[in-house]
Structure 1
Amino acid sequence: MTLGLLAAIAATFSWSLLFIFPQLVGDYSVFDLAVVSYAFAGVGSAIVLFVYRREVRQLRLNDWAWAALLGFLGYIGFFFLITTAVLAAGPVIPPVMMGSVPIVLAITANLRSSSIPWRAIAGPLVMAALGIGVVNYSAFNASGAMVDRPTGSILFGLLASLVAIAFWTGFGLFNESALAQRPKMSPMLWSAMLIFSCAVEMLVFIPVGLYLELSNFAIQPGEVAGTQALIISGMVQGLGATLAAAWAWSVATRRLPLALSGQLIASETLYATALGLLITQRWPSTAEAVGTGMLFIGVVWAIQAFYSRQSRIKSMAD
């Protein structure tokens, strides 16, 4: 279980970098960053597949179909939905709603598997939910996200955000099932399959992004500042926050109940908040400090609840 916890922490820390890199790429857009990062991730995953070429030859079409589905749910489709939501509803409402993903995933996972009694998980869930709510309300209240947005556009953005939540919840549940059905498959190979499928799907998504004018480079070729930062950020994001994080999450998924790993996703908010404050060179507001503190308590509480249950089960077995 300890290795699973360390893997989940590594994955969520890597994912938190995704909130930081868009601020470092100059005039390039999030879409430009995604294209570059998936190019690096595709190359990296192809190298891993070559290393595992003997196992790759034994893969069935069903294995690749699941990898493609999960890549679409957890990465490409999720990215498209969040991008659509931000364009429609503004830059604050969708992230506020996405803060509910750890709670939804933890509740859904425990409904399915009953890995821990509800009385043991209720406290950590409520504490983490309140912490996320306080942080997100603070961000929402400070930015005036509703200004100059038609009601229809906001409602469409809310709908896209809800579908994105469903996508990531489905990814967590299906990924756990897929790994359970392939107990002998290396998590590194599975992650490489998933990310390689993402890279291929990104090629299909590029024309959609260009049609929606999401690329600043395509709109203003030769006039966009920050190319070096884009390449470096894309490389770190593609190889670290995408490929390596997918591998770490596969390890965590195989070793932890999803009801726990789902709550651990909430720690991503802690890392992202800390890194954001570091980049902006400011101290947290009172609401940010209180909210992140409550979130931290909820995550630690959840880990303690699962460890206690595991110890009791072990004692009964002995």
Structure 2
Amino acid sequence: MKGGLIAAIAATFSWSLLYLLPNLIGEYSTFDLAVVSYAFAGLGSLGVLARFRRQLTTLTLGDWLTVGLLGFLGYIGYFFLITSAVIAAGPVIPPVMLGCVPIVLAIAGNLRSQAIPWRSIAAPLLLGALGIMMVNASSFERADGQASQPAAMVLVGILISLLAIGFWTAFGLLNERALSTRPGMDPLLWSALLILTCSIEMAAFLPVGLYLKLSSFVSHGGALKGTSAVLFCGLVQGLGATLGGAWAWSIATRSIPLALGGQLIASETLYATTFGLLIQHRWPSPLEALGTATLFLGVTVAIRQFYRADQRRRQGSS
């Protein structure tokens, strides 16, 4: 279980880089960064698959279809849903709603597996939800005075955000099931397959991004500042946050219950908040500080409760 905890924490830390790197790419857009990062991630995945070339011959069509679906749900489709939600409802409401993903995933995971009694997980879930709400409430405070979106567009953005929450929850549940039915599958091989299909899907979705005018590189004719930065950040995001994060999450999925893994995803908010404060060169507001402390307490209590439950199972089976 300890190895799974370390892997989950590594995965959430790598994913939190997705909040930091877009601030370092000059005039390029998040979409431009995503395209570059998936190009590097795809190349890295090919390198990994070369190591497992013998195992590739044993893969079935079902394996490829499964990783293709998972890649769409958890990565490419999820990315475009978030982007569309922000376009429709503005930059505040969708991220706040998507902060509920760890809580929803933890509840869905425990509903399916009953890994721990609800009375044991209720407190950390409530603490986590409260902490996320308090941290994200600062977004509304900073948004005061900014132009608001039309009510109809905000509603569309909210609906798209709910769909995005459903996408990642489905990814978490289906990925756990896929790995459990493939006990001989190496987590690194599985992650490389997943990210390779993501890279292919990103290439297929390029016209969608161009249609939505998400690429600053295309819109401005290619003469943008920050080319070296976007290439470096794309390398870090592609190999670290994307391929590396998928690998760490695959290890965690094999080792700890999804109900705990979902709760640990909440720690991503801790890292992202820290990165945001560093970028803005400021101390946290009282609400941010209280929310971060509450969220940290929730994650700590969750780990403690699951560890105790694991110890009781071990003693009962001995």
Q: CA deviation at 1:26?
A: 0.5
CA–CA separation in structure 2 for the residues paired with 1:284 and 1:243: 31
Q: Which amino acid aligns with 2:214?
A: L
Counterpart in the other structure of 2:69: 69
Does residue 94 of the first structure (1) align with residue 88 of the second (2)? Answer: no
Contact 2:90 2:148 in 1 (8 A): no
Counterpart in the other structure of 1:232: 232
CA–CA separation in structure 1 for the residues paired with 2:132 and 2:148: 26
Does residue 282 of the first structure (1) align with residue 282 of the second (2)? Answer: yes
Counterpart in the other structure of 1:162: 162
Contact 1:91 1:145 in 2 (8 A): no
Counterpart in the other structure of 2:33: 33
Mapping for residues 105-120 of structure 1, pairs under 5 Å: 105-120=105-120
For residues 31-80 of structure 1, give each alpha carbon's deviation from its aligned partner in whole angstroms, at most 9, with x where no partner exists: 00000000000000011111100001110000000000000000000000
Q: Which amino acid aligns with 2:110?
A: N
Query: After TM superposition, which residue ranges in structure 1, 4 or more long, deviate above 4 angstroms?
Result: none
Contact 2:73 2:168 in 1 (8 A): yes
Name the SS for the 2:205 alignment partner: helix
Q: Which amino acid aligns with 2:296?
A: F
Q: CA deviation at 1:257?
A: 0.3
CA–CA separation in structure 2 for the residues paired with 1:186 and 1:290: 41
Contact 1:92 1:145 in 2 (8 A): no
Contact 1:116 1:309 in 2 (8 A): yes
CA–CA separation in structure 1 for the residues paired with 2:129 and 2:21: 26
CA–CA separation in structure 2 for the residues paired with 1:144 and 1:41: 38
Q: CA deviation at 1:227?
A: 0.5
Counterpart in the other structure of 1:173: 173
Aligned in 2, Cα 1:99/1:56: closer, same or farther, shift over 3 Å? Answer: same
CA–CA separation in structure 2 for the residues paired with 1:205 and 1:11: 25
CA–CA separation in structure 1 for the residues paired with 2:311 and 2:48: 37
Instruction: Could you tell me which runs of 5 or more consecutive residues in structure 2 were left unpaired when the two chains were aligned.
Output: none
Aligned in 2, Cα 1:177/1:23: closer, same or farther, shift over 3 Å? Answer: same
Name the SS for the 1:20 alignment partner: helix
Further displaced range: 55-64 or 141-150: 141-150
Counterpart in the other structure of 2:216: 216
Contact 1:75 1:198 in 2 (8 A): yes
Identity of aligned residues (%): 61
CA–CA separation in structure 2 for the residues paired with 1:176 and 1:146: 41
Further displaced range: 174-183 or 145-154: 145-154
For residues 279-318 of structure 1, give each alpha carbon's deviation from its aligned partner in whole angstroms, at most 9, with x where no partner exists: 2221111011000000000000000000111111222223
Q: CA deviation at 1:129?
A: 0.5
Counterpart in the other structure of 1:82: 82
Q: CA deviation at 1:141?
A: 2.5
CA–CA separation in structure 1 for the residues paired with 2:71 and 2:209: 18
Counterpart in the other structure of 1:127: 127
Contact 1:135 1:291 in 2 (8 A): yes
Does residue 52 of the first structure (1) align with residue 20 of the second (2)? Answer: no
* Count of residue pairs the alignment pairs up: 318
For residues 216-237 of structure 1, give each alpha carbon's deviation from its aligned partner in whole angstroms, at most 9, with x where no partner exists: 0001023311111000000000
Counterpart in the other structure of 1:10: 10
Name the SS for the 2:77 alignment partner: helix
CA–CA separation in structure 2 for the residues paired with 1:145 and 1:23: 23
Name the SS for the 2:183 alignment partner: coil
Contact 2:267 2:295 in 1 (8 A): yes
Further displaced range: 271-280 or 171-180: 271-280
Contact 1:9 1:264 in 2 (8 A): yes
CA–CA separation in structure 2 for the residues paired with 1:248 and 1:145: 41
Q: Which amino acid aligns with 1:21?
A: L
Contact 1:96 1:140 in 2 (8 A): no
Further displaced range: 4-13 or 140-149: 140-149
Q: Which amino acid aligns with 1:87?
A: I
**What TM-score, normalized by structure 1, do the two folds share?**
0.98
Q: CA deviation at 1:146?
A: 7.2
Q: CA RMSD in A?
A: 1.0
For residues 137-181 of structure 1, give each alpha carbon's deviation from its aligned partner in whole angstroms, at most 9, with x where no partner exists: 122222138733111111111111000000000000000000001
CA–CA separation in structure 2 for the residues paired with 1:46 and 1:304: 39
CA–CA separation in structure 1 for the residues paired with 2:27 and 2:235: 17
**What TM-score, normalized by structure 2, do the two folds share?**
0.98
